[in-house]
Amino acid sequence: MRDGILGIDIGGSGIKGNLVDPGTGALLAERHKIKTPRPSSPVAVAEVVGQMVEHFSYSGPVGCTFPAVVRRGVTLSAANVDQAWIGTDAVALFERRVRSRFVVLNDADAAGIAEVSFGAAKGVDGVVLLLTFGTGIGSAMFVDERLVPNTELGHLNFAGFESVERWASSRARDDEGLSYEEWAGRVSRFLQHLNRLFSPDLFVIGGGISRKWEKYAQFLDVDVETVPAVLQNEAGIVGAAMAAVQLS
């Protein structure tokens, strides 16, 4: 095994990987990105995962994110990916393609693990909610730095929408041409609702939009400390690798 653990972040448009130092969260190579195949069927995605492992000439445990509910390696939902993933044993599928052991976990949970380990939520006790804003809305909940997996808060029924992510994700902002102020108004209402439900000590805003923090931070209105993710787009890769440490 080369230095570091391979983390792979599977998203609706791209699949990204890198070697990660699990002690520091540092990225050890140049990030490699491959377009997500269309359709994003399990077999097609497993092939890309295999190519990723080969790209890094890697052998060793692999951590892999997936944008869905993942229980014991089985993907149980498919909001923004091919429906064939529902009920797929992703760990078994990847381990058939690659001679390595795999951990597969929800993408937002992985991002949260990275932020708790090395980023914005490091050392924060109590209830922390990380939300990722992208094509959907992902969520990761921590209680005293321990993950409560698969919270799926982006699928709360809210503002007349069956899933709040259809109304307040980054994609909704793009599709509807919302200004940052308008979009942040929606996010604020969502955060206020989450505050009523969970009384968190901290919100961490992640996903691609965390890079644009200064464009909307002044419009966020919720009575809870709210900060941007530190690891930004690399959080999924880092958290995936951290989750694979248990296999090494």
- Interface positions with ligand BGC (CB under 6 A): 67-69, 77, 79-80, 106-108, 132, 134, 136, 138, 152, 154-155, 165
Q: Least distance (Å) from ligand BGC to the CB of residue 138?
A: 3
Following CA atoms 192, 206, 39, 47 in sequence, which dihedral angle do they give, to the nearest 10 degrees?
Answer: -140
CA gap 230, 218 in Å, rounded: 18
Q: Considering beta carbons, is residue 93 or 140 the nearer one to ligand BGC?
A: 140
Q: Considering beta carbons, is residue 12 or 200 the nearer one to ligand BGC?
A: 12
Q: Considering beta carbons, is residue 91 or 98 the nearer one to ligand BGC?
A: 91
CA Rg value for the chain: 17
CA gap 47, 52 in Å, rounded: 9
Q: Least distance (Å) from ligand BGC to the CB of residue 77?
A: 5
User: Which of these, 146, 153, 141, 139, lies nearest to 117 by C-alpha position?
Assistant: 146
Q: Considering beta carbons, is residue 8 or 69 the nearer one to ligand BGC?
A: 69
Q: Considering beta carbons, is residue 76 or 227 the nearer one to ligand BGC?
A: 76
Q: Least distance (Å) from ligand BGC to the CB of residue 110?
A: 9
State whether residue 64 is helix, strand or coil.
strand
User: Which of these, 13, 51, 60, 12, lies nearest to 32 by C-alpha position?
Assistant: 51
Q: Least distance (Å) from ligand BGC to the CB of residue 102?
A: 18
Place of tokens 């976990």: 105
CA gap 187, 193 in Å, rounded: 10
Q: Least distance (Å) from ligand BGC to the CB of residue 197?
A: 18
User: Which of these, 92, 84, 106, lies nearest to 153 by C-alpha position?
Assistant: 106
Q: Least distance (Å) from ligand BGC to the CB of residue 243?
A: 14
Q: Considering beta carbons, is residue 61 or 154 the nearer one to ligand BGC?
A: 154
Q: Considering beta carbons, is residue 155 or 186 the nearer one to ligand BGC?
A: 155
- C-beta of residue 62 within 8 angstroms of C-beta of residue 100: yes
User: Which of these, 40, 59, 51, lies nearest to 17 by C-alpha position?
Assistant: 51
Helices 235-244 and 107-118 pack at an angle, to 10 degrees, of 90
Q: Least distance (Å) from ligand BGC to the CB of residue 216?
A: 19
